[in-house]
Structure 1
């Protein structure tokens, strides 16, 4: 069997973009080149890895192959980055995952810093929820991630800071003038909870208050949560970094009980780190400007 790196790159690109044409654009090659790479891969394996019926989706063999393909490509990318690093200049692509509030409230500042200090490193951002990020990291879909409250941070990880959870209400809400809002009073208007992120911490806040967790509405996307609160359907709880996502009708106010979350930049547990992950962390070593708790 002679599976090539080019075939695996084409395969993972089609899976990631759900399209041959989009994969071609991402790889900077023609669509026919992507199709040829997939066809030659399937010929080598003597089975299909992708089904072309009703869009592009993985076959059973494809499901088995994709995590292994990601592991192989992550290793090859790391090898190439190590070779470039020996020349004295960090360069290449590193894939970084983060939750939406971090993507909106923290990453623009980090990207600006990395662009200045690592001009030849292309940081590609993958936005996901709390539950997706560890799986993406360990499967090789991404090289690094900013995790929320990791159980056991890996050696070499970088703590970026903390932010706290706050009450999300309309600016015309009766409690808007309060210095802080007790959870029990906030819940009188009905809690809208986002299952796509931070629900574990919201449950913890209820435990600290001795209040049973009950959501009148449960949605996946933070954008849906913001929209419903803006329409006056209920209230919400979200991290203070979410300030960057708010429409002008909404406000975040201190919540009691107070709960913080820690944000940690790290690599995977099950495989060697991409050298550029170490480069991102090293670029933050003397950066003392992060004061998330004061935002």
Structure 2
């Protein structure tokens, strides 16, 4: 006969409670069933575990076996809880890569609610360019990507939102005085700071502005710091300008309807862990609250 987990539980319950009847109540069994299981356990071991029939005092062997049984039962119960938590998406690890503006503005309330509902899920969030988001997804280093990405073989994507491009400059800039009529032509002659998103702007009238640029800053935080410091102006999607940057303004352009599209990109849903799949659902559910028009 092999040692069964029920034998270990029975033995531990008897030791912890000190009486067969109390152990039976804890285990939801009859005292006779508990006694029989203890007998089977001792028969398998080939030596008594208790010094008397009252089960109040362990033998030396019984003491050692009790400590081993308790350790293994704790490990087994922890393993079961982990498996059940993973299956319910209550625990696990979710890796997210997002562009800086999405990470800073869109994700905080989503993650706050998700963590409150699933405190045992570990979340890793990294902000990076759209190209880096794609690379991390393809290398399976992240589960979820939020970026401006086209179709990618082997990956699923859903459009989250789009926001318009516009000029970002200091509030005291001359451009801010009549921003309702701003066009690409008004930007010519300004110190323009290029960034990675400029490649998405296909308007021919923007090309001379980009060609005249002598400074490129791919990192959004550094880019905005340059604009705040008076180094120049730039073009960004509306969401890329945090609301607390009150010394900067976002100026819509009259002669363009171009928008930046942000997509929710993952591997196939079947390959995601339950926790990652739950995160996808949480992000998508929050999508309806995003309004950037």
User: Shorter-chain TM-score: what band?
Assistant: 0.5 to 0.7
CA distance in structure 1 between the partners assigned to 2:273 and 2:148 by the alignment: 20
1:36-87 superposed Cα distances (whole Å, 9 cap, x missing partner): xxxxxxxxxxxxxxxxxxxxxxxxxxxxxxxxxxxxxxxxxxxx9x954674
Q: CA deviation at 1:258?
A: 2.7
> What CA RMSD, in Å, does the superposition of the two structures yield over aligned residues?
3.1
Q: CA deviation at 1:219?
A: 2.0
Of 228, 231, 234, which residue of structure 2 is paired with 1:230?
228
1:181-209 superposed Cα distances (whole Å, 9 cap, x missing partner): 21121232121012xx313224x2x4365
TM normalised by structure 1 equals: 0.61
- Summarize the Cα distance change of 1:287–1:198 in structure 2 as closer, same or farther, 3 Å threshold: same
User: Is 2:240 aligned against 1:239?
Assistant: no
Q: CA deviation at 1:148?
A: 0.9
Residue equivalent to 2:174: 174
User: Is 2:128 aligned against 1:131?
Assistant: no
Greater gyration radius: 2
Residue equivalent to 1:260: 259
Residue equivalent to 2:246: 248
TM normalised by structure 2 equals: 0.61
- Summarize the Cα distance change of 1:285–1:102 in structure 2 as closer, same or farther, 3 Å threshold: closer
Q: CA deviation at 1:110?
A: 2.0
CA distance in structure 1 between the partners assigned to 2:250 and 2:139 by the alignment: 35
Q: Secondary structure at the match of 1:213?
A: helix
Q: Secondary structure at the match of 2:142?
A: coil
CA distance in structure 2 between the partners assigned to 1:246 and 1:238 by the alignment: 16
How many pairs were matched up? 210
What residue ranges of structure 1 are gaps of 5+ in the alignment?
1-79
Q: Secondary structure at the match of 1:111?
A: helix
Q: CA deviation at 1:133?
A: 0.8
Residue equivalent to 1:220: 218
CA distance in structure 1 between the partners assigned to 2:264 and 2:139 by the alignment: 17
Q: CA deviation at 1:244?
A: 1.2
Residue equivalent to 1:115: 115
CA distance in structure 2 between the partners assigned to 1:281 and 1:168 by the alignment: 31
Q: Secondary structure at the match of 1:188?
A: coil
Residue equivalent to 2:204: 207
User: Is 2:206 aligned against 1:183?
Assistant: no
Would you say the 8 A contact 2:86–2:92 is kept in 1?
A: no
CA distance in structure 2 between the partners assigned to 1:175 and 1:232 by the alignment: 13
CA distance in structure 2 between the partners assigned to 1:212 and 1:171 by the alignment: 21
- Summarize the Cα distance change of 1:157–1:103 in structure 2 as closer, same or farther, 3 Å threshold: same
1:147-186 superposed Cα distances (whole Å, 9 cap, x missing partner): 2142359776443211121101111111213215211212
Residue equivalent to 1:91: 91
Q: CA deviation at 1:89?
A: 4.2
What residue ranges of structure 2 are gaps of 5+ in the alignment?
1-79
CA distance in structure 2 between the partners assigned to 1:288 and 1:134 by the alignment: 21
CA distance in structure 2 between the partners assigned to 1:108 and 1:94 by the alignment: 15
- Summarize the Cα distance change of 1:174–1:216 in structure 2 as closer, same or farther, 3 Å threshold: same
CA distance in structure 2 between the partners assigned to 1:130 and 1:156 by the alignment: 15
CA distance in structure 2 between the partners assigned to 1:164 and 1:103 by the alignment: 18
Q: Secondary structure at the match of 1:189?
A: coil
